[in-house]
Amino acid sequence: MRKRFRPLLEEESVDEPLINLTPLIDVVFVVLITFMLIAPVLDIDPVDLALGSPAKKETSNFQASPISIAVHADNSIWIQQTRLTMAQLETKLRQEKKKYPRAVPQVVHDSKASFGTYQTIKNALEAAGFEQMDVILKPN
């Protein structure tokens, strides 16, 4: 038996198989429509911000925490009127956690300070062992 070798012609090119994207696009559209239908039904808790009025009743129920963290407009961090750097923050918070194990820290964040500073404080509080914190926003 002889093998026949057929020369490749230029007309016979090796085509790569085409990927059919239609099912993928269909699935994406179904997921998109599902999210669009479900989004208005979701129960999202609104955040009520204080108006900044000192005569308001809710401010009289406010209890001060022994751990008060203030963030100023220049992103400086102050704990109990002592300015701290980012490196000193976690060490100080660990000391405060030992001193006041059941206290809930209060973070007074200036509206002009960056969100990254808030996130750094939140991460440091979690690393120090705090499970809760109160965020107090200063009015403009």
Q: Does domain 66-137 have CATH number 1.10.3720.10?
A: no
Residue of 77, 135, 65, 69 whose CA lies nearest to 101: 65
Q: What is the pLDDT of residue 30?
A: 96
DSSP string over 107-134: EEE-TTS-HHHHHHHHHHHHHHT----E
At residue 27, the pLDDT reads 95
Instruction: Quote the pLDDT of residue 56.
Output: 43
Digits of tens for pLDDT over the chain (140 positions)?
A: 566 666 555 555 567 778 888 999 999 999 999 999 998 888 776 655 555 444 444 444 456 778 888 888 898 999 888 898 888 888 899 998 999 888 889 888 887 888 888 888 999 999 999 888 888 865 55
Contact call for residues 84 and 96 (beta carbons, < 8 A): no
DSSP state of 56: S
Q: Apex CA 48: angle with CA 66 and CA 121, to 5°?
A: 40
In sequence order, what E strands does the chain have?
68-71, 77-79, 82-84, 106-109, 134-137
